[in-house]
């Protein structure tokens, strides 16, 4: 059963995974090559931090795409296929989750190989600085898995439930805008972001420093 789900899910996901693999492989090489002529270590660290935003966004995008594509066919078929299978719903969901998690692996490997290649070039890492290809790859893998798990849970629900979640996010943004316009400065959205993004928030892995080369 799992093999069949894996094969079918791969057909829906392979194009998105291929694009993400290319992006993950290109990013470390581009970040290093674009900074070969950087004058000082401090400037290099600053520019590496700028590229770090790209790693976080890519990890979130990978998780989002793989999770959404895992359930896209079920939503189109109104879950008739899943309900017709002689397997418990929870087991079916676990197999869907396991298949999607496996599709994150090629992207993580591509990033890791590229990061190692980029930092092995002589003269890339100035004296006094260190390269962290393994740490960056592990963080990327964890962030992609967190994003996948969150969006998988949202996508597994009905379209209405996903709409409720998006509506709640929009409501918070609108409330922030109205309170700011009224001069109250309650910053509801900022407090919500702090709860999620600051350790030990569920999305704290996306915040902080994402650098391939650092002190």
Collapsing DSSP states into helix, strand and coil, what is residue 111? helix
**CB atoms closer than 10 angstroms to residue 175:** 14
Question: Rounded distance, CA 89 to CA 87, Å?
Answer: 6
C-beta separation of 104 from 10 below 8 A: no
Q: Among 156, 174, 191, which residue terminates a domain?
A: 156
Q: Is residue 213 part of a domain?
A: no
Q: Which domain holds residue 32?
A: 2-156
Cα–chain center distance at 39: 32
Question: Rounded distance, CA 199 to CA 208, Å?
Answer: 10
- Same domain for 139 and 201, yes or no, is no
What pLDDT sits at residue 9?
86
What pLDDT sits at residue 200?
67
* Residue spans of the chain under pLDDT 70: 35-39, 74-86, 122-123, 158-163, 165-166, 169-170, 172-201
- Same domain for 111 and 192, yes or no, is no
What pLDDT sits at residue 53?
85
- Same domain for 116 and 174, yes or no, is no
Task: Tell which residue, 8, 6, 141, 14, has the closest CA to residue 65.
Answer: 14
Number of domains composing the chain: 2
């Amino acid at each position: 059963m799992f093999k069949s789900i894996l094969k079918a899910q791969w057909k829906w996901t392979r194009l998105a995974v291929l694009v993400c693999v290319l992006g993950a492989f290109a990013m470390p090489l581009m970040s290093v090559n674009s900074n070969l002529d950087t004058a000082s270590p401090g400037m290099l660290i600053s520019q590496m931090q700028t590229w770090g935003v790209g790693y976080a966004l890519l990890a979130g995008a990978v998780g989002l795409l793989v999770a959404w594509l895992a359930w896209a066919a079920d939503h189109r078929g109104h879950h008739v296929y899943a309900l017709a299978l002689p397997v418990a719903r929870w087991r079916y969901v676990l197999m869907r989750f396991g298949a999607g998690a496996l599709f994150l692996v090629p992207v993580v490997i591509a990033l890791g190989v590229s990061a190692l290649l980029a930092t092995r070039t002589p003269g890339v890492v100035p004296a006094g600085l260190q390269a962290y290809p393994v740490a960056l790859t592990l963080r990327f893998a964890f962030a992609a898995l967190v994003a996948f798990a969150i969006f998988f849970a949202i996508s597994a629900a009905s379209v209405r439930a996903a709409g409720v979640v998006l509506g709640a996010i929009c409501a918070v943004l609108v409330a922030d805008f109205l309170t700011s316009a009224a001069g109250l400065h309650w910053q509801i959205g900022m407090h919500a972001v702090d709860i999620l993004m600051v350790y030990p928030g569920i999305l704290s892995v996306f915040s902080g420093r994402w650098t391939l080369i650092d002190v």
